[in-house]
Homo-oligomer: A and B are copies of this chain.
């Protein structure tokens, strides 16, 4: 029994209790809170956020970390927890309580403004709030410190170790390898997907989405699904991990794949060990690795032929008028149709990365100060024209579509693309380890895949960094080749290339 280590654990858990409470407040805010509750909710969140911050950067934690960093009696897991907490602590010490509360209050109001702005497609309602958020984010970069580029400081918050220099190379690969492939696809005959955009009853969609989550082995005794304007996953602890979705009655695709996507996130959180609650070993590594879990389920599994060999018959039973006369092959081609579009969350697997790239470049420029909030609608629309070859019809369908900036989440978007690339690399290895994986999926048996993810990824929490884990599991560092190989094999087949 190490008294100091035990005290450290109990302090970390106290802080997690507060953070988990804040997560409940956030969840409620996005799914059930009445409109007028917003103002004091922002105060409540700011208060809890301040208390958690003060506890974490307080002398007791600092003193314990100093003692425990030199304590050779700790085992390797305990040492890792201490070094990870020390890393977090050092970073957090850079924030004043005042700054934390200011940011929390500002983003809570920005979120409300964004909601209204999006509903009315009126960017001017959001702009003044966004300006404040951007200003605070620029301050945050200075406060955190960085090498080479201020945006690196923000990238590090979501994907530790990610750098502008590396992402620039990566998105250049996207441009040089993926863009020509997409152009090749664009020359092929158009796939008929009109049947996906008929009217799909809300309740039937909802029930099918719940079934998909159950099939993935998402544990409904440790979670639930609700409706929100933007789907998300939120964890209060591994025994209470909630997902949300939205239903579009005129686009069959939206709800199903958001269910599977959020389900993938949730399986990661439910797979963290409850005995590590409050400790780094009980937390997800990074957003990129998190996104690898959602993308793997959404795309590598949920848009595969094997998945629909298993589930299409049920879908035909639920929607006989829609799918009764559509063959599995045609359905599979339609759900994998590659076509530039306005909305990131409903983009296909390939053009998706251009949505991310555009946001990445805007964020980088905003943070370095080479553009300002006023310029965004113009720059957004120009880039959609340049890379996706489309004219954005409204701000609702354009610059206002994502919630992230209202939350201050600059540096977040690139992790979506990283996620897909990690997913491709992990899935290739999983297939390698489980040669029958495709047949298992065809039979609706997802337990071996989940078991593989639990054993190789989920269980470790932050015991390894993203790079270490990737190397441990796949034998090599993150590599764009796996995504490109996957994309070429799948879409060459679909488009007869």
Binding site for B on A (CB under 8 A): 13-14, 17-18, 20-22, 24-25, 28, 32-37, 39-41, 43-44, 46-48, 51, 219-224, 226, 236-237, 239-240, 274, 277
| One of B13, B24, B219, B223 near A43 (C-beta < 8 A) | B13
Q: Bound complex: CA of A146 vs CA of B47, how far in Å?
A: 36
Given A20-B40, A36-B221, 14 more pairs with CB closer than 8 A: A17-B46, A17-B47, A17-B48, A21-B22, A21-B47, A24-B24, A36-B222, A36-B240, A37-B222, A37-B237, A39-B239, A40-B240, A41-B240, A51-B51
**A24 — which chain B residues lie within 8 A by C-beta?**
24-25, 28, 44
Which 6 pairs across A and B sit closest by C-beta, in order of nearness?
A: A37-B240, A17-B47, A36-B239, A40-B237, A17-B44, A36-B222
B40 close to A277 (CB less than 8 A): yes
- Nearest chain B residue, comparing its CB with the CB of A38: B239
B43 close to A224 (CB less than 8 A): no
Q: Bound complex: CA of A36 vs CA of B219, how far in Å?
A: 10
Query: Interface majority SS on A: helix, strand, loop or mixed?
Result: helix
B20 close to A21 (CB less than 8 A): no
A47 close to B25 (CB less than 8 A): no
- Nearest chain B residue, comparing its CB with the CB of A32: B224
B44 close to A223 (CB less than 8 A): no
26 contacts between A and B (CB under 8 A): A14-B47, A17-B40, A17-B46, A18-B47, A18-B48, A20-B44, A21-B21, A21-B22, A21-B25, A21-B47, A24-B24, A24-B25, A24-B28, A24-B44, A32-B32, A32-B224, A34-B224, A36-B219, A36-B221, A37-B222, A37-B237, A37-B239, A37-B240, A39-B239, A41-B240, A44-B236
- Nearest chain B residue, comparing its CB with the CB of A50: B14
| One of B21, B41, B46, B220 near A44 (C-beta < 8 A) | B21
Q: Which has the most chain B C-beta neighbours within 10 Å: A18, A24, A48?
A: A24
Q: Bound complex: CA of A32 vs CA of B28, how far in Å?
A: 10
B20 close to A240 (CB less than 8 A): no
**A34 — which chain B residues lie within 8 A by C-beta?**
220-224, 239-240
**A33 — which chain B residues lie within 8 A by C-beta?**
240
Known: A25-B24, A32-B224. A17 touches B37 (CB 8 A): no
| One of B21, B40, B220 near A236 (C-beta < 8 A) | B40
B239 close to A40 (CB less than 8 A): yes
Q: Bound complex: CA of A40 vs CA of B21, how far in Å?
A: 10
Q: Bound complex: CA of A29 vs CA of B177, how far in Å?
A: 50
A150 to chain B, nearest CB (A): 33
**A219 — which chain B residues lie within 8 A by C-beta?**
36
| One of B44, B46, B48, B236 near A37 (C-beta < 8 A) | B236
- Nearest chain B residue, comparing its CB with the CB of A28: B24
A321 to chain B, nearest CB (A): 26
Q: Bound complex: CA of A24 vs CA of B47, how far in Å?
A: 14
**A22 — which chain B residues lie within 8 A by C-beta?**
21
Q: Bound complex: CA of A46 vs CA of B21, how far in Å?
A: 11
Q: Bound complex: CA of A277 vs CA of B36, how far in Å?
A: 14
